[in-house]
Amino acid sequence: MNSEWTSATILATGQSIPFTGSWSNIAQSRNTLIIAYASGAGTTGTTINVQTKGSDYLSSYDPSFQAGSGNDGVPLYAFTGIAPGYQSPALLSSPLPNIRITATGGSGTIFAYAILQN
């Protein structure tokens, strides 16, 4: 692994809540810092979840792991007590293949990105 490698990936770009983001491949990252920003008075009561992908291997045996099913995204971290503005960052210190952001409850918009470091 290259200890000098850093990168960033965008997870949400002002999408309206509720929102389910696209999967972002972060397999090269050993440490991932997730920054989220909520905009709008209606964001109070919103929960922003960071999810990893359900196992592709298991999806061939159990339909509940296939895309769009209940186990498609496995929760890793939840930003709760949301207020408009930046949220406290979340650090993932284990390698993961994919992540995405989901936001439920409330209204407003969500911005999020991940800083990746090897």
Global pTM value: 0.82
- Does residue 54 carry a pLDDT above 90? no
Whichever domain contains 23, its CATH number is 2.60.120
Q: Is residue 107 part of a domain?
A: yes
Q: Is residue 7 part of a domain?
A: no
Q: Is residue 42 part of a domain?
A: yes
Domain count, the chain: 1
Q: Are 110 and 48 in contact (CB under 8 A)?
A: yes
Q: Is residue 1 part of a domain?
A: no
Domain that holds residue 63: 15-117
Q: Are 101 and 12 in contact (CB under 8 A)?
A: yes
Q: Is residue 3 part of a domain?
A: no
Burial class, 41, CB count within 10 angstroms (exposed 0-12 / middle 13-18 / buried 19+): exposed
Q: What is the pLDDT, as a whole number, of residue 56?
A: 61
Q: Is residue 10 part of a domain?
A: no
Q: Is residue 93 part of a domain?
A: yes
Q: Is residue 4 part of a domain?
A: no
C-alpha span between 62 and 3 (Å, rounded): 38
pLDDT, tens digit, for every residue of 56-96?
Answer: 656 666 666 666 666 677 888 999 888 899 999 999 998 88
